[in-house]
Amino acid sequence: MWQNMYNRYKLMNIPKFFPALLLVFASLTGFSQTAGGQAKRECFMILVGKNASAGGTVLLAHNNDLTGSEPSHLHKYSREVHPKGDSIDFPSGLSIPQADTTYAWLALKIQKGYAEGDAVAINEYGVAVAGGVALKPDRNVRAEAADPLVEKGVTGGIRYVALQRSRTARQCVKMIGDFYTRYGVTYPSGIGIADTNEIWYIESGGGHCWAAVRIPDSCYWPQANGYRIGYVDPGDTVNYYCSPGLLDFCETHGLWNPGQGRFDFAAAFGGGRKERNEKPFYDTRRIWRCFKLLTPSVDLSPEAERYPQCLPPDQKISLTDCFAVLRDRYEKTPFESIVDDSGENGERPIASRNAVHTDVISLKPGLPVDAGAVMWAGIGSPLVTVYVPFAFGTQSMDNDYFETDTQAGSSAFRIFKELADHARNNKRLLRKIRKEQSEIEKHSIEDVNRLIDDIDAGMLPAKQSVSRWDDFSEHYLLKALKMAEKFNKKYSGW
């Protein structure tokens, strides 16, 4: 499919940077460094249970906000059999044994060459990494002293190591936790893990402490960059997992006093921003906004310090609902005029112009993974990009051909970044972009739903649907590119 798209690009006289755009749509993970050397790892995530969504699908939405300059792309990794004694080397210097076999996976990530970490991905068994959020800025000083980070521990890439070895979300989240316990972590984060049966969310409290909770099928869980897991019951392994001896450790090290109430993981390890009186609404306001959009019947204050972990939506959540939340900048609220993409003033919106990729993963129960696991991928900021559907069964991409070109104006990422720059503080242009985004996405969802219905009805074998999926991806990718290039040409020089 991808070579055909290249040939069509030449015949249609589309600008020479189009092949690199396809490249951009071809891989996914990671953290980058700002000019000052500090990593920008802020993200936002929504985990939607199958009974809370329209159509009974599991939905996993994510914005990856870095500096805004790290090119992103899609990449399909094949199943591999590894030599005996093979190992995995982490940037921290840690080396761990490789598995005998690793499963195929499709990933949306930043360009090769940056430190791995914040990707979204689906494996051949339909297990998905929904994305991650950085938690270090919210870790309190007591936790820092009691459970220090491990310099040569596992880095963010451990989640993809676990993904390549897991057949269920439960197995994947437990494996990540076991890696944390055994090797320690270099940086604390929160991660969403799901399959068509259940969703889990795991947080690392420090070097070795961690907790994971199963999200009810009837609810959705919004997540910014603050600790959110509350009560944890180590004895209830249907709904919780945690590091060995977690409660005893927290009591011994003064992170929890049983006499003051039941154990609360977020209270034990989080609250660092409040403790430093730093950006008090940086994380919480985004949680409030998501709840306000999806469950407006529940009256929550935008100034609250803690919110419910999860809530049932007032109406079933659709793909377009997820797109809308990921694109939200507090429109028609008192906070719309004061939000700052950098977050320097403490008022950070859900949708940042600094996002380098955005996506919604849809996992449809009852369908083969090739057709039922879909990544709706957007390159760059959700404000200007289009969510294009890629099924897990999409054909493999030529790695040499789809290598991201980082030269200005030469890749899809650069095209959408240029558009984001044009749209900065230009509400009129944003309205025009939003209108065309909505039209393209409306038609793509209709096409995908018809295809799913045909498979469900037995009218089209799932294996034969792969070529149709590839046609959809090609068609809507071209539309997304044309839209962005049209606006860039019109607004260049303004």
Q: pLDDT of the chain along its 494 residues, tens only?
A: 434 443 343 333 444 333 333 433 333 333 333 332 334 557 999 999 999 999 999 999 999 988 777 777 788 889 999 999 999 999 999 999 999 999 999 998 876 543 455 689 999 999 999 999 999 999 999 999 999 999 999 999 999 999 999 999 999 999 999 999 999 999 999 999 999 999 999 999 999 999 999 999 999 999 999 999 999 999 999 999 999 999 999 999 999 999 989 999 999 999 999 888 878 899 999 999 999 999 999 999 999 999 999 999 999 999 999 999 999 999 999 999 898 888 888 889 999 988 989 999 999 999 999 999 999 999 889 999 999 999 999 874 433 223 344 444 446 778 888 899 999 889 899 999 999 999 999 999 999 999 998 888 888 887 788 888 888 888 898 899 899 999 999 988 65
**Among residues 70, 82, 79, which one has the least CA distance to residue 113?**
70
The phi and psi torsions of 140 (rounded to 5 degrees) equal: -80, 165
The residue with tokens 């040939």 is 7
pLDDT, position 465 = 82
Following CA atoms 117, 285, 147, 205 in sequence, which dihedral angle do they give, to the nearest 10 degrees?
-60
DSSP at 50: T
> What's the pLDDT score for residue 66?
80
User: Of 216, 211, 215, which is closest to residue 266 (Cα–Cα)?
Assistant: 211
The pLDDT score that the predictor gives to residue 402 is 35
- The pLDDT, as a whole number, for residue 378 is 92
pLDDT at 493: 65
Residue 15, pLDDT score:
40
Q: How far is CA 247 from CA 252, 254, 255, in A?
A: 9, 11, 9
C-alpha to C-alpha distance for 116 and 310, rounded to whole angstroms:
29
pTM assigned to the model:
0.90
User: In angstroms, rounded to a whole number, what is the distance separating the alpha carbons of residues 274 and 256?
Assistant: 18
Q: What distance in Å separates the CA atoms of residue 374 and residue 26, rounded to the nearest whole number?
A: 14
Side-chain half-sphere of 317: how many Cα atoms within 13 Å? Answer: 34
Tokens of residue 267, six digits: 């209270």
The CATH code of the domain at 2-491 is 3.60.60.10
Q: How far apart are CA 205 and CA 451, in angstroms?
A: 43
H-assigned helices in 295-384: 319-326, 369-372
In angstroms, rounded to a whole number, what is the distance separating the alpha carbons of residues 75 and 25? Answer: 8
Give the pair of three-digit tokens for residue 430.
Answer: 């944003």
Helix (H, G, I), strand (E, B) or coil at 211: strand
Distance of alpha carbon 466 from alpha carbon 469, whole angstroms: 5
